[in-house]
Structure 1
Amino acid sequence: MSGPLRWYDPNADNPPWLKALAEVRIRATREGWCHAHVQAIVVAIDQYAEAALGNRDYFLNKPHSIGGRSSNNNVP
């Protein structure tokens, strides 16, 4: 996939299947399910995201840069 990586945005108008995958990925860790089953679900969702969307970390939080860029390039 060319171009910048895409990330899941819960506020965007996502198709129902993306919303469902994101919800299962989040809920799996909170419902008291068997750890091995949770790991299998999370790995399967992440592998699907990598194959279909080009970003294995699609459902993880979008990384934010630390600090900002200065608009003044003359400052040493």
Structure 2
Amino acid sequence: MSTTRAVYFSDMQNPPEFLVALNHARKLSCHEGWCRMHIEAIQVAIDQYAEAALGNREFFLNKPHSIG
């Protein structure tokens, strides 16, 4: 079991502009009226980039709440 804490976008104080743009694109993708398969492809590509570059596939998703 890994003891290192996962990093999330919401944890960053001053994220790079590239990560801000990816987060914005991921959030807007489902509001633009595109084909569902295109939306899923965009979101999967962004999540795969986050996993490869930052080690956390759920980097742009909400951080899980801790108990207590």
The two structures have a TM-score, normalised by structure 2, of 0.88
Distance in 2 separating the partners of 1:3 and 1:24? 28
Residue 27 of structure 1 corresponds to 28
Which range is displaced more, 8-17 or 47-56? 8-17
Which structure: greater helix fraction? Answer: 2
- Which of structures 1 and 2 has the bigger CA Rg? 1
Distance in 2 separating the partners of 1:5 and 1:44? 20
Q: CA deviation at 1:65?
A: 2.1
C-alpha RMSD of matched pairs (Å): 1.8
Could you tell me which runs of 5 or more consecutive residues in structure 2 were left unpaired when the two chains were aligned.
none
Residue 46 of structure 2 corresponds to 45
Aligned length: 66
Paired AA for residue 21 in structure 1 = L
Shift >2 Å, 4+ stretches: none
Q: Percent identity?
A: 53
Could you tell me which runs of 5 or more consecutive residues in structure 1 were left unpaired when the two chains were aligned.
69-76
Paired AA for residue 5 in structure 2 = P
